[in-house]
Homo-oligomer: A and B are copies of this chain.
Amino acid sequence: MMTDYPPFGAGLWHFASYVDRYATDGYAAPVSTLEQIARAGEVGDLTYVDVPYPFTDGVTIEQVKAALTQNGLQAVGVTPEIYMRRFRKGAFTNPDAAVRAQAGAVLNEAADVVRALDARYLKVWPGQDGWDYPFQVDHHQQWTLAVSGMRDLALANPDIKIVIEYKPREPRQKMFWDSAAKTALGIKAMGVENVGVLLDFGHALFGGESPAAAAQLLIDHDLLWAMDVNDNLRGWDDDMVVGTVHPVEVFEFFYTLKVNNWQGVWQLDQFPFREDTVEAARLSIRFLKGIHRALEELDIAALREAQSNEDALGAQRLVQDVLFSCLRSES
């Protein structure tokens, strides 16, 4: 069987080290942007990376470009770090206008990096834009700031595509951009053409969405411009290796992309805190290739027929036939 796999990608942070509120000395020694790129190159099947900005200390954009080229990688997106200390009460929605201006500056610098790296999009994840306590914010004002700030960014960078990555919560107890539907609603209110959505499989899953249904909703609004995958236990953004917990819903997610003829990068957003980061990517891609082969074998006409009757058992039988045999050539 000839299989033409899609391009695979990963956030560069997949190859970094991590801290949390307990292991404040980090789960491993720090990894520079250039070392992260080198590790991404080691994986062997990666074509694209999403590049956080600013780079780690002292790294220049020329070095990043050279490292990408040397490792056979391209930038799919650039992610401005608008969730550090100074933005702890929000970037777009910070109560202090001066901090909002600082966020704007970082975002526009990141847009320049998109241009310099010839990336596909600026990825905006406003992780500190939300609230923690009942009564803490005026939801009308804050949502207005969230939407108008994004609109301003889009108008200031008409040559650049912007994707919003929504997430229900963390690091705030609640985030403003928290679901596919709310993000679509906000984008429609902007009246611009260069803002879309990056759907993170795990964010949808732990937010109680069906990732497949969320993808379909965004596709139906022409807003699904990027995606990434991982896995979790449905209660938190665990950013585990894709397929290790919820392979069936991963499969349904990619099925939805396929039947809509979605073209794009199959991207990883994982945090292998205690694992070898290169090996984590390899295991992920091995699984995604299996998913891709299973999709080629799936009897889609029969599945559609089952779906037209809400025949859950018939649909599952067809799905299990191919999903639970997709690694047979590997074993």
Contact = CB atoms under 8 A, between A and B. Distances in A.
A304 B317 CA distance: 32
A185 B181 contact: yes
A35 interface: no
A228 B95 CA distance: 32
B132 A274 contact: yes
A163 B89 CA distance: 36
10 contacts: A20-B171, A26-B85, A88-B273, A133-B315, A134-B244, A139-B256, A185-B185, A246-B246, A276-B313, A325-B330
B244 A247 contact: no
A4 interface: no
A245 B19 CA distance: 28
Contacts of A328: 324-325, 328
Contact of A248 (B234, B247, B255): B247
Interface residues of A, number: 110
User: For the complex formed by this chain, how many copies does it contain in all?
Assistant: 4
Given A88-B274, A234-B234, 14 more contacts: A23-B83, A23-B128, A23-B171, A134-B244, A135-B312, A136-B310, A136-B311, A188-B188, A233-B234, A241-B316, A243-B320, A247-B324, A275-B312, A324-B327
Interface of A: 18-28, 83-85, 88-90, 95, 127-128, 131-141, 143, 168-171, 173-174, 178-179, 181-182, 184-185, 188, 207-208, 210, 212-213, 216-217, 219-220, 233-236, 238, 240-241, 243-249, 251-252, 255-256, 260, 271, 273-276, 279-280, 283, 286-287, 290, 297, 303-304, 307-313, 315-328, 330-331
Task: Name A's interface SS.
Answer: loop
Contacts of A331: 297, 321-322, 325
A25 B85 contact: yes
